Amino acid sequence: MSNTTNPIQAVPPYPEQGAFTAQYKRYGWEASVHFVLDKSNNYRAYVSDYAVSGTPTLQDISRISTKVHADFNKWVSQTRLINWATRNGMHFTRWRQQADNTLEVIA
């Protein structure tokens, strides 16, 4: 089954988001969506109960987070993730992985 027909594996249109929200919504005060452009120019998304400061690495983010398993080319766009995070009271942070594996915030 492709990701376009499986709403648990992608951020579906708003009326159909129940399963996705149940799987990825966090309840911490600092719940966050981390949208990462890695060194291979691939996008990854993670959800955590924590706000992250300083200069974390991708390993730091993955250790404290749940990876959003989705096909970013078919369903999940940055805009859809931002809207989903906002509707669920979560912070949204864009990161870019550097050569030394640290992450920098993308404005």
pLDDT of residue 56: 95
The string of pLDDT tens digits covering residues 53-96 is: 889 999 999 999 988 876 665 667 788 888 888 888 889 999 99
C-alpha 72/C-alpha 88 separation (Å) is 20
pLDDT of residue 71: 60
| Domain residue ranges in the chain | 3-105
Element (H, E) at 19: helix 18-24
- Reference 92, options 35, 52, 36, 40; nearest CA is 35
